[in-house]
Amino acid sequence: MTKPPLILAHGGAGKSPMTKAQRACLAEALASGYELLRRGAPSIDAVETTIKILEGSGVFNAGVGSCLQLDGSKRMDASIMEGRDLRAGAVAGIELVRHPISAARLVMEETAHVLLVGPSATRFARHWKLDRQSPPTRAQQKAASVKAMKRAGLSGAQRRTLSVFAQMQTRSRREARDTVGAVALDRDGTAAAGASTGGIALMLPGRVGDTPLIGCGVYADNEAGAVSMTGLGEGIIRLAVAKEIADRLAGGASPVMAVRLVLAKLATRVQGRAGALVLAKDGRFAIAHNTARMTAGYWNGSGKPVVKDKFER
């Protein structure tokens, strides 16, 4: 018995309103992902394609739009998972790749591993001849450094102190950026989830958030559904939020109830801020956040894709 396909996608949670460019890109990504589902493609294809469009747009903090870290480098994380056989793949700290989500899928399909990190992940992507992006220019690195210092509110003297990294990192924990992600359900009832990010503002080199950690940033299980997270990764990691939401779905909770309970726990236990796409195995879904805004949307093939930056809290 076939099921009606459905796709959800997000472009991050935080304080900033969605831009016109982000709205248009998210709608295009949802339409492209759903078209694959409509034609009978597996949910993993729809998730990857949707995220690739967001990564390649330059208007989200993922792929070519990723922010620079404090040393001027652009390091990215991504993960993908399908719910039939619980296969998963991820990369962390990957560089010079246009679509980290495709590298994550290759880890899932072409290796016996789940997560590759750093220069080894970059070499792996190069081996498979994935589309590349140019390294940041000196002008871009300088501009990013100045922007980061201003955002942190540091004076010239403070910038020269040995405590600058600690000061900036403390401020960075308050800011979420435009991580992207998607979840989908195909006609065969297989769920899939994915996410991709360039990290958070002012992050220290070597920092890894929730996005490439299976069970934290993403999870998919046909016995439960699919989840893709966005927000401040440190809190999401500490509660393994995606897996906890999925476990509640498997236990019979509705998507709305599951995500509300877990986001409330995130806020009370670790003062965490996040947004989530939650898709149950029967097609029910929820988009929820405890941040001021969450750029996200969904489409089931009826009318036009729904894209907003505020959902019921």
Predicted confidence at residue 141, as pLDDT, reads 63
What pLDDT is stored for residue 14 in this prediction? Answer: 93
What pLDDT, on a 0 to 100 scale, did the predictor assign at position 153? 60
Q: Is 179 in the active site?
A: yes
What is the C-alpha separation between 36 and 41, in angstroms, rounded? 5
- The answer as to whether 275 is a domain residue is yes
Q: Contact, 305 vs 31, CB < 8 A?
A: yes
Does any domain span residue 212?
yes
Residue 313 lies in a domain: no
Q: How far apart are CA 122 and CA 137, in angstroms?
A: 19
Is 173 a member of any domain? yes
Q: Is 118 left (phi over 0), alpha (psi -120 to 50) or beta?
A: left
Catalytic residue among 49, 50, 179, 230: 179
Q: What is the pLDDT of residue 174?
A: 42
Question: How many structural domains is the chain composed of?
Answer: 1
In-domain check, residue 105: yes
pLDDT along the chain (313 residues), means of 10: 92 95 98 98 98 97 93 94 98 98 98 98 98 78 59 52 42 58 98 96 88 98 98 96 98 98 98 97 98 97 96 79
This prediction has a pTM of 0.90
d(CA 56, CA 64): 6
- Position 1 in a domain: no
- Which domain does 220 fall in, by range? 6-308
End-to-end CA distance of the chain: 34
The confidence score (pLDDT) of residue 154 equals 52
Q: CA 68 → CA 83, 140, 178, 191, 300, distances in Å?
A: 33, 9, 13, 33, 36
CATH value at residue 63: 3.60.20.30
pLDDT at 167: 45
